[in-house]
Amino acid sequence: MEELPTPVVVAAAGLLGGAVLGFTARYTRFCTYGAIEDAQLGGDWRRMRAWVLAVVVALGATQGLDAAGIIDIDLSVHLRPQFTWLSLIAGGLIFGYGMAMTGTCALGTLVRAGGGDLRGVVAALVVGVSGYMAMRGLTGMLRFYGLDPVMIAFAERGDQGIDALLGLWTGAGRPFMRALLSGLIVAAGLWWCFRDGAFRKARRHWIGGIVFGAVIAYGWCVSALLGADEFDPQPFVSYGFVRPSGETLVYLMTYTGASVNFGIGAVGGVLIGACLAAVMRGEWRPDAFDGVREMRRHLIGAFLMGFGGITMLGCTVGQGITGLSTLSAGSLLAVAAMIAGSLFGTRVTIEGSFRAAVFGPRLTA
């Protein structure tokens, strides 16, 4: 591996973890939007508990790696001093609404595509194009000039970590107190998840949560260790699937002038892992849209997810699990907005219009 370029080594590590995520998501039905929808419409909180379990496992493992000096979580983009609160809220609401229209998240579109679902293929392509437009294209102007400038600078506190914003722990004592806060959150999350008997019996759900959380920590670890090249340093990242989807499309189109990275490897890995799980379960089949209305909904929803995901600096994985593993206040705000957007989007989808969603009857199972 010493003879391979550092970006290739990091991308290979990303592919390996991505394959585990894709396989796990397909095999255990781990899906953030599915968790929200189950709780909202059916009162079934098992998949939501699996998602919370993934968050607390990722948090505990990530903070443990940081405390051990293996990684430096302060280098994460999620902990930058610029608290772009308007972008986080707007992006979260837009992403959540788009997720409800599509029926899954950015990761879910890749998982569907890996299973042969042509709806997932189309949605994943649109998420990638829309995300890249929001990074470097026309819609990026709205984000860059209209949303991102509205911010709070936390430079005097160091970063936007929840522990730092509390203003209680600074200096040499901060690592210990950060570990203590993380431990309390992990303990509370584990208690909430496993206090439910139905969840304890649903082995696939809690296995899925544990695997997802562990892979997020793995991502931080390999990008820090394998990417620490003095001559070609790689970004310190873990898993997320909006920006990488766009970068993957650009890489495929401009191979000779582009460089592979962790995120591109992760996208390929998810497709491989989801395909393998679908084949093993006998579920691989080329499903298509039922009609124009469904296709229109997927196209609009995927476009909104691409723009919203870049604006809020992540997706259900990139902010919802990876970001929260850093104790980022911005990630917490973005996730809250994303859930709110998806709840409203689900209501609009079922009621058929904004007006009916706002003034109509309450949702029933």
Concatenated DSSP letters for 27-62?
A: HHT--HHHHHHIIIII---HHHHHHHHHHHHHHHHH
Helix (H) or strand (E) holding 83: strand 82-83
Is 193 a member of any domain? yes
User: Residue 161's beta-bridge partner residues?
Assistant: 328
Query: Confidence class of residue 1 from pLDDT cuts 50, 70 and 90?
Result: very low
Is 365 a member of any domain? no
As to burial, measured by CB atoms within 10 angstroms (0-12 exposed, 13-18 middle, 19+ buried), residue 231 is exposed
What token pair was written down for 275?
């395909």
Q: Give the pLDDT confidence score for residue 169 in this predicted structure.
A: 55
Is 276 a member of any domain? yes
As to burial, measured by CB atoms within 10 angstroms (0-12 exposed, 13-18 middle, 19+ buried), residue 52 is buried
For residue 165, which of 330, 313, 336, 335 has the smallest C-alpha distance?
330
Query: Confidence class of residue 93 from pLDDT cuts 50, 70 and 90?
Result: very high
Q: Which amino acid is at 161?
A: G
Q: Give the pLDDT confidence score for residue 238 in this predicted structure.
A: 97
Non-local (6+) Cβ contacts of 361 within 8 A are none
From the centroid of its chain, how far is CA 103?
A: 15
Decide: 89 and 150 in contact? Cβ < 8 Å: no
The mean of the pLDDT values for the chain is 91
Chain segment 270-324, per-residue pLDDT in tens: 999 999 999 999 999 988 888 999 999 999 999 999 999 999 999 999 999 999 9
Query: Confidence class of residue 170 from pLDDT cuts 50, 70 and 90?
Result: low
152 φ, ψ (degrees, to nearest 5): -120, 130
Is 1 a member of any domain? no
Chain segment 63-89, per-residue pLDDT in tens: 999 999 999 998 999 998 899 999 999
Q: How far apart are CA 87 and CA 78, in angstroms?
A: 13
User: Residue 328's beta-bridge partner residues?
Assistant: 161
What's the average model confidence in pLDDT over 20-25?
98
Chain segment 94-103, per-residue pLDDT in tens: 999 999 999 9
Non-local (6+) Cβ contacts of 122 within 8 A are 289, 295, 298, 299, 302
Is 55 a member of any domain? yes
**Number of domains comprising the chain:** 1
Is 364 a member of any domain? no
Decide: 308 and 94 in contact? Cβ < 8 Å: yes
Per the structure, the complete domain to which residue 159 belongs is given by 6-358
- CA 310-315-320 angle, to 5 degrees, is 135
Q: Give the pLDDT confidence score for residue 135 in this predicted structure.
A: 95
What's the average model confidence in pLDDT over 315-339?
96
Using the predicted structure, report yes or no on whether residue 191 has a pLDDT greater than 70: yes
From the centroid of its chain, how far is CA 55?
A: 11
What token pair was written down for 320?
């919802």
Decide: 290 and 315 in contact? Cβ < 8 Å: no
209 φ, ψ (degrees, to nearest 5): -60, -45
For residue 234, which of 249, 248, 219, 224 has the smallest C-alpha distance?
224
From the centroid of its chain, how far is CA 171?
A: 31
Lowest mean pLDDT among 90-94, 176-180, 278-282: 176-180
Q: Three-state SS string across 165-230, please?
A: HCCCCCHHHHHHHHHHHHHHHHHHHHHHHHCCHHHHHCHHHHHHHHHHHHHHHHHHHHHHHCCCCC
What token pair was written down for 95?
């992403």
Decide: 73 and 160 in contact? Cβ < 8 Å: no
Q: Which amino acid is at 307?
A: F
Using the predicted structure, report yes or no on whether residue 363 has a pLDDT greater than 60: no
Chain segment 110-158, per-residue pLDDT in tens: 999 999 999 999 999 999 999 999 999 999 999 999 999 999 988 766 6
For residue 117, which of 349, 307, 301, 290 has the smallest C-alpha distance?
290
Report helix, strand or coil for 82.
Answer: strand
Is 319 a member of any domain? yes
Length of the chain in terms of residues written:
365
3-state helix, strand, coil in the chain (%, to 5): 75, 0, 25
Q: Give the pLDDT confidence score for residue 365 in this predicted structure.
A: 47
Q: Give the pLDDT confidence score for residue 122 in this predicted structure.
A: 96
Share of the chain above pLDDT 70, in %: 93
Is 40 a member of any domain? yes
